[in-house]
Amino acid sequence: MQLSVIGCGYLGAVHAASMASLGHTVVGIDVDQAKIAKLSAGETPFYEPGLDEILRTGLASGRLTFSTDYADLADAEVHFIGVGTPQRRDGQGADMTYVDAATAGILEHAKPGSLIAGKSTVPVGTAARLTQLAAREGVRLAWNPEFLREGFAVKDTVDPDRLVYGVTDATHDEDVATLDQVYASILERGTPRLVTNQPTAELVKVAANSFLATKISFINAMAEISEVTGADVTQLADAIGHDERIGRKFLNAGIGFGGGCLPKDIRAFAARAEELGKGESVAFLKQVDEINLRRRQHVVDRVVDSFDGPVYGHRVTVLGLAFKPDSDDIRDSPALDVAVQLKGLGAEVVSYDPEAMDTARNAHPQLNYAASLDEALEGSEAVVIATEWKQFKRLDPADTATKVARPVVFDARNILDPTAWRNAGWTYTGMGR
Ligand code: UGA
């Protein structure tokens, strides 16, 4: 099929390259000239395992192209909207500027009878509003949320847990048939496909992210209680996780969730619920957010407490800057936040991340970035493990102790073995253990 994908960020670039890898002819469109130039040259604008390969193969096949000109989508049968919906500068709700601009751009050039498939995470009710605009041009619109995780984005796109189509009664059969054709090879494998109305599809996405955020904050709340009672939250998570109804996944206590999705999605959902007069239904999301943010402060406080007097002038190593491993994304990263806060308190912060140094440096040039893990550890008076990269998990406590000035470690992701580190002479502090 001929497809267009509007927005070439995490969601859009991965979707465009993945659809080409399934055999479709795809044009990716973005207003950012530099991003389009990079993608057209076969360079990924961010770190995402597996994306390079399908990008290059797609470009070489001639079936994948990128453009800044909306006119290039004129032949497409389906137009995917994959632009961002960041938090509004002036509030908690979602900024719909990019979705609205993408829709307008598509409608200027789309052929009648084509289908817009929205993938961006949007406030419930958006699809109904856009469907009316599209109908005036004879274009159909469905909501087809995306559940990809950074670090697994390609796999999640070409081999998803489920597909969700949010369609209207008026165009139900055509929309389902068109999307089934797009995803034919995925459906052949027996991937579950749920056809819902539009509000359900929009809500599925925010409900999923709210549930995940709640799960993480739940275990972090248990970490807070564990800290004052002498319990170990990692054992607690293992024990409750054996109950299949609870499950062990997303029960890792630490410095909480960050990234371009969970934090802004729970805020946007709470803001939308307020607009709908149902703020109380998701009032708990505010607490989920607060618990989450408290964990960052907790780490900063523990580091400060470890010194006799202020942290000012002390050399603190922050290992990890990305919001999670296998990503160079620093959007709302708890790790970067901790580094910035400690720096703000006058600590001599040295940071290191295997992938996120450039993105972090662009956003926070005031931090000191070490060229290597060893350099970051050199002379350190406190080491904070802030992102659970494999490289940090594998650190040898005895060897690491020889590099630092003071063997004090804050395992903010609970990835180290406390006994091994204590036996090697370290003062070890985990999260909720
Ligand atoms: C999240 C969802 O997991 C995806 O399903 C969704 O499609 C995506 O948002 C989106 O809306 O686009 P992502 O932001 O890539 O994906 O990251 P997650 O893997 O969900 O991790 C989010 C944060 O939670 C990270 O900072 C991670 O370190 C933290 N986390 C995760 C914990 O603190 N504890 C856990 O047990 C799990």
Task: Please give the positions annotated as active site.
Answer: 261
Spacing, Cα 257 to ligand 1 middle (Å) = 7
CB 329 within 8 A of CB 320: no
Q: How does pLDDT run across 372-402, given as a tens digit for each residue?
A: 999 999 999 999 999 999 999 999 999 999 9
Q: Which pLDDT score, from 0 to 100, does residue 386 have?
A: 98
149 CB under 6 A from ligand 1? yes
Compute φ and ψ for 178, nearest 5 degrees: -65, -45
Ligand 1 pocket, 259 CB below 6 A? yes
The whole-number pLDDT of residue 341 equals 98
**Conformational region of residue 357, where left means phi above 0, alpha means psi within -120 to 50, and beta covers everything else:** alpha
Determine which helix (DSSP H) or strand (DSSP E) holds 4, and give its type and residue range. Answer: strand 2-6
Q: How many Å lie between the centroid of ligand 1 and the Cα of residue 414?
A: 17
At 161 the pLDDT is: 96
251 is in an annotated binding site: yes
**205 in a labelled binding site:** yes
- pLDDT tens digits for the chain (433 residues)? 999 999 999 999 999 999 999 999 999 999 999 999 999 999 999 999 999 999 999 999 999 999 999 999 999 999 999 999 999 999 999 999 999 999 999 999 999 999 999 999 999 999 999 999 999 999 999 999 999 999 999 999 999 999 999 999 999 999 999 999 999 999 999 999 999 999 999 999 999 999 999 999 999 999 999 999 999 999 999 999 999 999 999 999 999 999 999 999 999 999 999 999 999 999 999 999 999 999 999 999 999 999 999 999 999 999 999 999 999 999 999 999 999 999 999 999 999 999 999 999 999 998 999 999 999 999 999 999 999 999 999 999 999 999 999 999 999 999 999 999 999 999 999 999 9
At 318, is the secondary structure helix, strand, or coil?
Answer: strand
Q: What is the pLDDT of residue 363?
A: 96
Separation of CA 356 from chain center: 14
- The answer to whether 286 is a known ligand-binding residue is no
| Assigned token pair, 205 | 């996405």
Q: Which of 87, 216, 333 to mutate to test the pocket of ligand 1 (most atoms within 8 A of CB)?
A: 216
56 in a known ligand binding site: no
Quote the strand ranges of 291-407, DSSP E: 315-319, 348-352, 368-369, 382-385
Distance of CA 304 to the CA centre of its chain: 29
Is the CB of 261 within 6 Å of ligand 1?
yes
pLDDT at position 360 is 97
Q: Is the CB of 323 under 6 A from ligand 1?
A: yes
Distance of CA 290 from the midpoint of ligand 1 (Å): 17
In which order are the strands placed within the sheet that holds 427-429? 368-369, 348-352, 315-319, 382-385, 408-411, 427-429
Q: What is the residue type of 312?
A: Y
The rounded Å distance from CA 262 to ligand 1 centre is 7
Entry pTM: 0.96
Is any ligand 1 atom within 6 A of the Cβ of residue 145? no
Hey, whose CA ends up nearest to atom 10 of ligand 1? 261
- Ligand 1 touching residue 12 (CB < 6 A): no
Both structure tokens of 413: 């992701």
**Closest C-alpha to ligand 1, atom 33:** 256
Residue 63: its pLDDT value, please?
A: 98
Instruction: State pLDDT tens for residues 319-336.
Output: 999 999 999 999 999 999
Q: Is 38 annotated as a binding-site member?
A: no
